[in-house]
């Protein structure tokens, strides 16, 4: 059961009320929305190829198919840019031809093309709207920056977790800086959690692992937080058998709709807390745990 008395609470209800009342509404920082360095890097690596394709914006539509075919044949390095224009990461794209009831495979790897292969890729570009796009944009580079921003939003979920892990890391460094003999190690490969990944943080005392700290943030409800909570219950049992303590720092408005899950976890895990509790109490908790 959560050792609420070590946090300074008189009973479990008082501890739980404080936990739910101090959940963060968000962990979004300014870095959450777009990974600009990654976006720019993904576009800049095709600068030459984009310049070659950009010429198509100046070509009359009736000649554009012919010119694009010529670009593909003379400059095959431009071929991999086409999937990016339609916001696809894959190099090979399969298309269902409904009328023929067949699957056509289009390969956008950079390579020397035969005439019929070039015609096939140009046909793809026409049917998906890429040829028409060159009549509607002035600069392909600017357009692709926008595409990459859109694709980058898919990474926000992972970025959210990394941001919270970073916040917890800064907090731990600050709160534990005055503890002698302690070393904090992030993403420690020597200790695996039940999720079969590196431990987020491990606190060492005189070179020996003493406390594992895992952290996560949930904006919404779902099966993932339930799975994680159950996994950490099992992990604490394993850690305890090895003489290692476990601190779970979890936060986010998603827990408000999953109180039964968190209640079950708190009755099995010794040191659960949210970010606010960690900020206020983790230095004391670590001191008490290390003293045994």
The tally of CA atoms less than 13 A away on the side-chain side of residue 202 is 20
CB atoms < 10 A from the CB of 200, how many? 23
- Give the residue with greater pLDDT, 156 vs 110: 110
Q: What percentage of the chain has pLDDT greater than the value 90?
A: 65
Three-state DSSP state, 269: coil
pLDDT at 194 over 70: no
What is the pLDDT at residue 44? 96
- The torsion region of residue 139 among left (phi > 0), alpha (psi -120 to 50) and beta comes to beta
Residue 147 structure tokens: 């595409």
pLDDT at 86 over 80: yes
* Angle at CA of residue 82, ends 81 and 84, nearest 5°: 70
pLDDT at 82 over 90: yes
DSSP string, 115-126: HHHHHHHHHHHH
pLDDT at 197 over 90: no
d(CA 46, CA 82): 11
- The average pLDDT across 178-184 equals 87
- Give the residue with greater pLDDT, 222 vs 167: 167
Three-state DSSP state, 283: helix
What is the pLDDT at residue 1? 65
Q: What is the DSSP letter of 215?
A: E
Residue 263 structure tokens: 């209640």
Query: What domains appear along the chain, each with residue ranges and CATH number?
Result: 4-32+156-291 (3.40.1350), 36-154 (no CATH)
The tally of CA atoms less than 13 A away on the side-chain side of residue 5 is 1
d(CA 149, CA 87): 10
What is the pLDDT at residue 266? 87
d(CA 197, CA 291): 28
Query: β-strands 92-97, 102-107: how paired?
Result: antiparallel
What is the pLDDT at residue 164? 92
d(CA 89, CA 91): 7
pLDDT digits (tens, 9 = 90+) for 227-262: 888 888 888 888 888 899 999 999 999 999 888 888
d(CA 242, CA 274): 25
Mean pLDDT of the chain, nearest integer:
90
- The average pLDDT across 215-235 equals 84
Tell me the β-bridge partners of 212: 202, 246
**Of 46-55, 172-181, 227-236, 262-271, where does the model show the most confidence?**
46-55
What is the pLDDT at residue 137? 95
pLDDT bracket for residue 71 (50, 70, 90): very high
Tell me the β-bridge partners of 95: 104
């Amino acid at each position: 059961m959560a050792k609420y008395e070590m946090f300074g609470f008189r009973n479990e209800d008082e501890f739980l009320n404080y936990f739910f009342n101090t959940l963060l509404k968000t962990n979004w920082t300014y870095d959450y929305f777009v990974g600009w360095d990654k976006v720019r890097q993904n576009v800049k690596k095709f600068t030459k190829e984009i310049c070659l394709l950009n010429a198509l914006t100046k070509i009359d539509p009736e000649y554009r198919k012919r010119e694009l075919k010529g670009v593909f044949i003379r400059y095959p390095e431009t071929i991999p840019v086409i999937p990016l224009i339609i916001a696809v990461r894959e190099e090979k794209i399969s298309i269902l031809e409904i009328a023929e009831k067949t699957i056509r495979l289009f390969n956008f790897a950079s390579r020397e093309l035969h005439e019929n292969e070039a015609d096939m890729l140009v046909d793809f570009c026409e049917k998906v709207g890429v040829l028409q796009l060159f009549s509607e944009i002035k600069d392909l580079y600017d357009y692709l920056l926008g595409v990459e921003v859109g694709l980058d939003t898919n990474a926000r979920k992972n970025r959210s977790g990394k941001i919270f892990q970073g916040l917890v890391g800064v907090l731990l460094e600050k709160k534990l800086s005055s503890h002698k003999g302690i070393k904090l190690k992030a993403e420690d490969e020597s200790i695996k959690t039940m999720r079969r990944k590196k431990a987020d943080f491990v606190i060492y005392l005189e070179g020996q692992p003493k406390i594992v700290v895992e952290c996560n943030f949930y904006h919404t409800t779902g099966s993932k937080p339930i799975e994680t909570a159950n996994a950490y219950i099992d992990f604490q049992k394993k850690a305890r058998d090895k003489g290692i303590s476990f601190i779970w720092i979890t936060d986010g408005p998603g827990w408000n709709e999953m109180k039964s899950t968190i209640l079950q976890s708190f009755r099995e895990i010794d040191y659960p807390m949210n970010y606010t509790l960690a900020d206020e109490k983790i230095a004391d908790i670590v001191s008490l745990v290390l003293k045994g």
